[in-house]
Amino acid sequence: MDDNKIIETINNLANEEHTLFSKKSRGEASDEENDRIKKIEVTLDQCWDLLHQRRARRSAGLDPDEAKVRDAETVEGYVG
């Protein structure tokens, strides 16, 4: 997956998340939609991590296509 595809995925997920957050803030979100929000959050973190890996590899003169999606536990375990 190239950087543009990752960014497109991030934008699509962010738009979906925004729509679901709006429903949730009005008290209209179903249990399935609340679960979907949680999944989107993890997937967004994974996408951002992959994009950062690709950029770092490119900056280091390495092949960005060798970057891999990390599992949710790894990505969600980062401390900011």
List, for residues 30-72, the tens digit of each pLDDT value: 999 999 999 999 999 999 999 999 999 999 999 999 999 999 9
Q: pTM value?
A: 0.90
pLDDT at 79: 61
Helix axes 31-59, 3-25, angle to 10 degrees: 150
State the DSSP code for 27.
T
d(CA 31, CA 38): 11
Give the residue with greater pLDDT, 14 vs 1. Answer: 14
pLDDT at 77: 80
pLDDT at 76: 85
pLDDT grade for 1, boundaries at 50, 70 and 90? confident
Find how far residue 8's CA is from the centre of its chain.
11
Nearest Cα neighbor of 13 from 49, 30, 37 is 37
